[in-house]
C-alpha cells in the first residue's frame, strides 16, 4: 500500500507550489532586469548581480536540505519539501511539528517526532499547525512592522547610535532556543506510550548517542567559526551551521554501525 504522505496527490501539490514559486521568481527577475536598464545599469553589472545572488543561495539551500532530511523520517519527503520551498527553517519547523505531535500523546497512541506518522488525521493536524503558525507572523508584519521597528529602535538604540542592547536581546533569544535543544540532548527522556498498563519508550532519550552528536556538532561549528574569523572567510560563514548539522548526522550513522548497540543506544535516564 502506498504511503499517503508520498501519494500522487502530495507530489502534484508539491509540483504546483514549486511552479508557482519559480514563476514568481522569474516574474520579478524580468521586472528587475527591465528596471535596471531604465536606470542605466549595464548588462554586465546585472549579470554579476544575478550570479552573486545565485551563489549566495547555495548556503541556505544546504540548510534547507538538512531540514528536509530531518523532517522526512516523520512527515515524509513531500510535505517538508513543499514547506521549505516557500518559507520556514529548521528551528521553527521542528518545534511546530513537535508541539503538534505532543498534543496527540494521550498515553495510547504513537505520535513522536522522529517516528513515521501512519495516521492521516495526525499528519493533517501537524501540517495545519506548521502552516498556520508561520502564516500568522507573515500577516502581522505588513500591519505592525513599522510600529514595532520604531518602538524597538527607541529601546535598543542609544544616543551614540550603538545597538548593544538589541544585540544582547537577539543573542539571549538564540541562546535560549539552543539551550532547549541542548537540555533535551543531555537530560531528556524518551517519549512513552502506555501498553498493557506499562509505559513503553518510543524513540530514544538522552544518552551516548545524543551527547556525542551534540559534542561533534559543537566542535565542528566552533572550529569552522574560528577559521572564518582568523582567515576572514566571510563568504564561508553561512555554511558553518549546515556543516555542523551534517557532521552530527554523520557521527550518529558512524556510531550506529561501528559501536555495539549496548553502547550506542545507552541512555542514562531510561524508561523502566
Report pLDDT for 12: 93
- 141, 156, 171 — which closes off a domain? 156
Residues 200 and 254 in one domain: yes
Residues 43 and 109 in one domain: yes
Residues 216 and 123 in one domain: no
Distances (CA, A) of 161 to 51, 149, 152, 156: 34, 15, 13, 9
Residues 131 and 174 in one domain: no
- 134, 156, 178 — which closes off a domain? 156
The string over 40-50, giving b where at least 16 C-beta atoms fall within 10 Å of a residue's C-beta and e elsewhere, is eeeeeeeeeee
Report pLDDT for 162: 57
Which of 84, 88, 94, 67 is closest to 17 using CA atoms? 84
Using a 10 angstrom Cβ sphere, with 0-12 exposed, 13-18 middle and 19 or more buried, the burial of residue 55 is exposed
Residues 126 and 31 in one domain: yes
Report pLDDT for 110: 47
Report pLDDT for 183: 83
Report pLDDT for 188: 75
Domain span at residue 116?
1-156
- 135, 156, 177 — which closes off a domain? 156
Residues 141 and 248 in one domain: no
Residues 145 and 97 in one domain: yes
Residues 90 and 112 in one domain: yes
Determine the Cα–Cα distance for residues 91 and 70; give it in Å rounded to an integer. Answer: 11
Residues 16 and 117 in one domain: yes
Per-residue pLDDT of the chain (272 residues; tens, 9 = 90+): 568 888 889 999 999 999 999 999 999 999 999 999 998 888 888 888 888 777 767 767 777 787 788 788 888 889 988 888 887 776 678 778 878 877 776 544 445 566 778 888 888 888 898 888 888 777 887 888 787 777 766 665 555 555 667 677 777 877 887 787 788 788 877 666 555 666 666 566 788 888 999 899 999 999 999 999 999 887 777 778 778 888 988 998 999 899 898 888 888 866 55
Residues 189 and 246 in one domain: yes
Q: Number of structural domains, the chain? A: 2
Crossing angle between the packed helical segments 78-86 and 8-38, to the nearest 10 degrees: 20
Determine the Cα–Cα distance for residues 63 and 47; give it in Å rounded to an integer. Answer: 26
Report pLDDT for 111: 52
Residues 112 and 164 in one domain: no
Residues 78 and 199 in one domain: no
The residues that bridge with 201 in the sheet, in sequence order, are: 192
Amino acid at each position: 500500500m502506498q504511503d499517503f504522505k508520498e501519494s500522487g496527490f502530495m507530489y502534484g501539490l508539491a509540483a504546483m507550489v514549486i511552479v508557482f514559486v519559480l514563476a514568481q521568481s522569474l516574474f520579478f527577475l524580468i521586472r528587475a532586469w527591465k528596471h535596471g536598464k531604465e536606470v542605466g545599469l549595464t548588462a554586465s553589472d546585472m549579470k554579476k548581480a544575478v550570479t552573486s545572488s545565485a551563489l549566495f543561495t547555495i548556503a541556505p539551500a544546504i540548510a534547507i536540505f538538512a531540514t528536509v532530511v530531518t523532517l522526512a523520517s516523520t512527515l515524509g519527503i513531500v510535505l517538508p519539501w513543499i514547506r521549505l520551498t516557500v518559507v520556514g527553517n529548521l528551528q521553527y519547523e521542528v518545534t511546530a511539528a513537535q508541539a503538534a505531535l505532543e498534543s496527540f500523546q494521550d498515553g495510547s497512541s504513537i505520535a513522536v517526532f522522529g517516528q513515521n506518522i501512519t495516521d492521516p488525521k495526525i499528519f493533517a493536524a501537524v501540517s495545519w499547525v506548521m502552516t498556520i503558525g508561520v502564516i500568522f507572523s507573515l500577516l502581522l508584519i505588513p500591519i505592525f512592522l513599522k510600529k514595532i521597528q520604531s518602538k524597538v529602535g527607541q529601546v535598543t538604540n542609544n544616543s551614540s547610535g550603538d545597538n548593544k542592547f538589541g544585540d544582547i536581546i537577539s543573542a539571549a533569544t538564540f541562546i535560549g532556543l539552543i539551550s532547549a535543544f541542548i537540555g533535551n540532548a543531555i537530560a531528556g527522556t524518551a517519549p512513552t506510550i502506555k501498553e498493557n498498563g506499562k509505559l513503553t519508550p518510543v524513540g530514544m532519550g538522552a544518552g551516548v548517542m545524543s551527547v556525542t552528536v551534540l559534542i561533534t556538532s559543537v566542535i565542528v561549528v566552533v572550529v569552522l567559526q574560528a577559521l572564518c574569523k582568523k582567515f576572514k572567510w566571510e563568504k564561508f560563514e553561512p555554511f558553518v551551521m549546515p556543516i555542523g548539522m551534517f557532521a552530527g548526522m554523520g557521527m550518529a550513522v558512524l556510531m550506529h554501525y561501528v559501536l555495539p548497540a549496548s553502547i550506542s543506544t545507552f541512555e542514562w535516564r531510561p524508561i523502566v
